């Protein structure tokens, strides 16, 4: 039986894979479907994707399509790196071939009619139209791909290429929305960090005053050695210095922004950078000079930085 596709479907999926590999950020959430028809049958594919740490692929195919499962898995793995994917394939007969007569059921009805005619001496002939209306005589034809497997596989590959291309477009659109949101939050982190550094410099005299008051309390009326006070103040100031943490936070933020702009399949790298950014924010909080001058403001800024990092983390969980 010659094959005549009802409409064209997408090109080789590997070509699209090469295009998308160059750098658009993709979400792991999406849905797409595609359909193709040949003479006498049709294929309908749907793909649903949600976030997952690895590629978790689940296939649902009709009976008789099991030999095609390895090909389906290979094509999907070439296009999708991470996510939980449900791929569902439906195969339906179309046109006259979609309706079949169950000859065994019809024969059983006719035998029953013949037995009744013999038993009761009836002369009436069986009504063919009535037989066809009996349950189980006419119904959907039994699906079979035997002998057509090569044609079905070719159509399936084309249809799968189309549905994955649609899925990629949807995931890229959502990935762009996520990128914009995260980029705005990165800018907020940079602004907050820029406000911290001058506050830490301004708080250093407060360190010395607090230390002097504490030493006087401990030594009672004994005089405080200015040299010793200066030395201890320098040690406290060094311990409270957050310039390295701010520098590393700025570096991680710049790397994060670069990955958002230029890297595909960046989800795991972004997650690692967020862990490093969170570590710097925690250290910043631990070095905050309590209730001293500027201390409360530094604490507030550091908490806001941590909050922005957590919000970005929620978004990164959905990036491929």
Q: Going residue by residue through the chain (320 aa), what tens digit of pLDDT does each one get?
A: 344 443 333 334 443 443 344 457 899 999 999 999 877 788 999 999 999 989 999 999 988 788 899 999 999 999 998 999 999 999 887 655 555 677 788 888 888 888 888 888 888 888 888 887 788 776 555 455 556 778 888 999 999 999 999 999 999 999 999 999 999 999 999 999 999 888 877 766 666 666 666 666 656 666 666 666 566 655 555 555 788 899 999 999 999 999 888 766 688 899 999 999 999 999 988 877 665 656 788 889 999 999 999 999 999 999 98
**Same domain, yes or no: 279 and 218:** yes
Domain count, the chain: 3
Inside any domain, residue 7: no
CB atoms within 10 A of CB 289: 21
**3-class SS at 111?**
helix
**In terms of residue numbers, what domain contains 310?**
173-316
**Same domain, yes or no: 280 and 308:** yes
**Same domain, yes or no: 26 and 166:** yes
**Same domain, yes or no: 35 and 154:** yes
**Same domain, yes or no: 117 and 53:** no
User: Do 5 and 37 touch, CB atoms closer than 8 A?
Assistant: yes
Picking from 75, 50, 94, the residue whose alpha carbon sits closest to that of residue 160 is 75
pTM: 0.66
Q: Which residues are paired to 91 by β-bridges?
A: 43
The edge-to-edge listing of strands for the beta sheet with 41-50 is: 30-38, 41-50, 83-93, 55-60
Helix, strand, coil percentages in the chain from 3-state DSSP, rounded to 5: 60, 15, 25
Reported as type and span, the H/E element at residue 217 is helix 149-219
**Same domain, yes or no: 177 and 309:** yes
């Amino acid at each position: 039986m010659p094959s005549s596709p009802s409409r064209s479907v997408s090109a080789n999926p590997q070509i699209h894979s090469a295009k998308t590999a160059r750098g658009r950020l993709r979400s792991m959430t999406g849905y797409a479907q595609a359909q193709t028809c040949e003479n006498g049958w049709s294929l309908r594919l749907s793909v649903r994707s949600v976030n997952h740490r690895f590629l978790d692929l689940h296939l649902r195919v009709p009976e008789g399509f099991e030999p095609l499962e390895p090909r389906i898995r290979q094509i999907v793995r070439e296009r999708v790196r991470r996510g939980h994917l449900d791929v569902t394939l439906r195969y339906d007969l179309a046109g006259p071939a979609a309706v079949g007569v169950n000859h065994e059921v019809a024969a059983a009805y006719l035998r029953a009619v013949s037995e009744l005619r013999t038993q009761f001496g009836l002369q009436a002939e069986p009504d063919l139209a009535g037989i066809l209306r009996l349950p189980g005589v006419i119904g959907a034809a039994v699906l079979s791909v035997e002998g057509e497997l090569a044609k079905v596989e070719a159509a399936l590959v084309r249809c799968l290429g189309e549905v994955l291309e649609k899925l990629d477009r949807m995931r890229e659109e959502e990935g762009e929305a996520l990128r914009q949101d995260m980029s705005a939050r990165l800018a907020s982190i940079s602004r907050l960090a820029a406000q911290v550094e001058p506050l830490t410099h301004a708080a250093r005299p407060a360190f010395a005053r607090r230390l002097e008051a504490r030493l006087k309390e401990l030594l009672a009326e004994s005089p405080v050695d200015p040299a010793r006070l200066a030395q201890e103040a320098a040690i406290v100031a060094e311990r409270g210095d957050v310039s390295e943490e701010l520098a590393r936070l700025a570096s991680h933020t710049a790397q994060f922004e670069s990955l958002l702009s230029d890297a595909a399949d960046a989800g795991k790298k972004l997650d690692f950078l967020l862990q490093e950014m969170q570590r710097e924010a925690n250290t910043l909080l631990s070095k905050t000079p309590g209730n001293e001058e500027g201390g409360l403001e530094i604490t507030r800024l550091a908490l806001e930085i941590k909050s922005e990092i957590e919000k970005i983390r929620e978004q990164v969980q959905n990036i491929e």
